[in-house]
């Protein structure tokens, strides 16, 4: 594995944290390149649970370097709280093991406020964001008014840029939204203090990661969210504000596209989504409830109940193809034990036409008809199994059927939250 991209193929929450933590055992460097504290990556090691939002999932492996690259929107308060929390538990986090790009954009209180206030104005068209300020921070980046980590380290520059940004934001907060404006002096003081704490971690992470690659180090790129939430290729406008797959790496980490050696997708054995937007295979009734209960499907970041549905082979095939995946990991297979029958979405009827292609214009999915195929389920707890041949026959049949529908090999199965609960099929 000289360099490996690991990304979600559905609407996030595919179990990337666990798989990245596991694969990080064979990596020297783990790089986050997009998203922010909207992500919630959960890892369970020897029964102990860790939820990370910004620090990459290699951090539990001593000596692994963890990089928060330039494409991440960093909430410095959240990042430092995670560092403190990890250190309190005895996890080593130093300026060597955690590297933060000086070029990463920052999320401030006004971004979090604008996120919530704008959602309110969207009414029925609201996105259901995590409220972490992601959209407003990336909007400022594109509008060239954002502040970057490097700006925090220079108090004069920070003062000039934050004052200009806040003058405009405060006017909007107060006059458009009728909310309380922020105190510029307090925001400035807090920003400079945060910069001082971040200083030991900050550097040119793009140059560092490129040098690591040239030196033969093994690099793992950690995707957050999932392809169906990609700003360009997902279910726009019900998406996050970054490129969530392998395509996000070159820009988001300063890493040459041709040096990404392998790409592995992660998808659940069924589907979930938090927030609003199209979800063709959603199950509104009892079966959806049963999946939510069996999979404990509540958001790791917001605690919101996740919408649940059958595996969508159309969406996953699209996400894997878009990212040139060499293989994928099917997670949460254990959650499907005990269902009499399992269905999979194999085609949509869009505008009266039967198609197995994901539509380029997502509104076409509104009210689209979904075609399913069904197979018998299996009984019994499979979470303790470690060999593929020990799985119930119907579980193997389900895996192989889905693999065929999707057309990309399943290289690993995840059958429980713990790092050890996997069945390898080549990865
Ligand atoms: P935002 O990223 O907070 O702006 O939210 C935009 C959409 O992406 C909302 O539907 C969120 O629920 C969803 N979203 C963002 N991050 C995640 C994640 O890590 N897992 C699942 N959904 C997410």
pLDDT tens-digit readout, 65-99: 999 999 999 999 999 999 999 999 999 999 999 99
Domain boundaries, the chain: 3-103+205-263, 105-198, 265-424
Q: Which residues of 152-179 are buried (b: 16+ CB within 10 A; e: fewer)?
A: bbeeeebeebbeebbeebbebbeeebeb
229 lines ligand 1 (CB under 6 A): yes
CA distance 140 to 273: 27
- Tens digits of per-residue pLDDT, 268-280? 999 999 999 999 9
242 lines ligand 1 (CB under 6 A): no
Class of the CATH-defined domain 3-103+205-263: alpha beta
CA distance 395 to 45: 26
38 lines ligand 1 (CB under 6 A): yes
Backbone CA torsion sign across 59, 95, 223, 258: negative
Half-sphere exposure of 225 (CA within 13 A, CB side): 30
Q: Which atom of ligand 1 is nearest to the CA of 38?
A: 16
pLDDT of residue 301: 80
Q: Mark whether 105 is an active-site residue.
A: no
Nearest to 8 by CA among 244, 248, 231, 257: 244
For residue 273, give the H/E element and its range: strand 271-273
Question: What band does 360 get if pLDDT is binned at 50, 70 and 90?
Answer: confident
pLDDT of residue 157: 96
Q: Which residues of 258-276 are buried (b: 16+ CB within 10 A; e: fewer)?
A: eebebbbbbbbbbbbbbbb
- Tens digits of per-residue pLDDT, 172-196? 999 999 999 999 999 999 999 999 9
Residue tagged active-site, from 21, 41, 326, 334: 41
Q: How far is the CA of 41 from the centre of ligand 1 (A)?
A: 13
Q: Which residues of 205-218 are buried (b: 16+ CB within 10 A; e: fewer)?
A: bbebbbebbeeeeb
Q: Which CATH superfamily is domain 105-198 in?
A: Adenylosuccinate Synthetase, subunit A, domain 2 (1.10.300.10)
**Regarding the domain delimited by 265-424, which CATH topology (the fold level of the hierarchy) does it fall under?**
Adenylosuccinate Synthetase; Chain A, domain 3 (3.90.170)
The whole-chain average pLDDT of the chain stands at 96
């Amino acid at each position: 594995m000289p360099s490996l991209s690991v990304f979600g193929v559905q609407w996030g929450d595919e179990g990337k944290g666990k798989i990245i933590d596991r694969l990080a055992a064979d990596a020297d460097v783990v790089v986050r390149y997009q998203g922010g504290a909207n992500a919630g990556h959960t890892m369970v090691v020897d029964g102990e649970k860790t939820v990370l939002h910004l620090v990459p999932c290699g951090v539990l492996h001593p000596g692994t370097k963890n990089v928060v690259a330039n494409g991440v929107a960093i909430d410095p308060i959240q990042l430092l709280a995670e560092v403190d929390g990890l250190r309190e538990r005895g996890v080593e986090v130093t300026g060597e093991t955690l590297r933060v790009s000086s070029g990463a954009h920052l999320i401030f209180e006004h971004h979090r406020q604008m996120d919530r206030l704008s959602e309110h104005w969207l009414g029925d068209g609201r996105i259901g964001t995590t409220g972490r300020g992601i959209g407003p921070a990336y909007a400022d980046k594109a509008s060239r008014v954002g502040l970057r980590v490097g700006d925090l380290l220079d108090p004069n520059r920070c003062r000039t840029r934050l004052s200009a940004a806040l003058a405009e934001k405060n006017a909007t907060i107060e006059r458009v939204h009728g909310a309380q404006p922020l105190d510029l002096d307090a925001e400035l003081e807090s920003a400079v203090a945060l910069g001082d704490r971040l200083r030991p971690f900050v550097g040119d992470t793009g140059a560092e990661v490129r040098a690591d690659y040239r030196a033969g180090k093994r690099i793992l790129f950690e995707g957050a969210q999932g392809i169906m939430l990609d700003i360009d290729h997902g279910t726009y406008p019900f998406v996050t504000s970054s490129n969530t797959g392998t395509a996000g790496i070159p820009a988001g980490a300063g890493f040459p596209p041709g040096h990404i050696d392998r790409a592995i997708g992660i998808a659940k054995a069924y589907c979930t989504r938090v927030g609003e937007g199209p979800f063709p295979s959603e199950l509104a009734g009892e079966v959806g409830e049963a999946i939510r209960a069996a999979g404990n499907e509540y958001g790791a970041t917001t605690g919101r109940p996740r919408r649940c549905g059958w595996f969508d082979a159309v969406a996953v095939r699209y996400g894997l193809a878009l990212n040139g995946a060499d293989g994928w990991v099917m997670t949460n297979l254990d959650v499907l034990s005990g269902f009499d029958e399992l269905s999979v979405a194999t085609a949509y009827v869009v505008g009266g036409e039967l198609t197995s292609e994901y539509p380029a214009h997502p509104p076409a999915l509104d009210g689209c008809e979904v075609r399913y195929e069904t197979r018998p389920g299996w009984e019994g707890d499979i979470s303790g199994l470690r060999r593929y041949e020990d799985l119930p026959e119907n579980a193997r049949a389900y895996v192989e059927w889905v693999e065929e529908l999707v057309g990309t090999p399943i290289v690993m199965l995840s059958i429980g939250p713990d790092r050890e609960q996997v069945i390898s099929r080549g990865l």
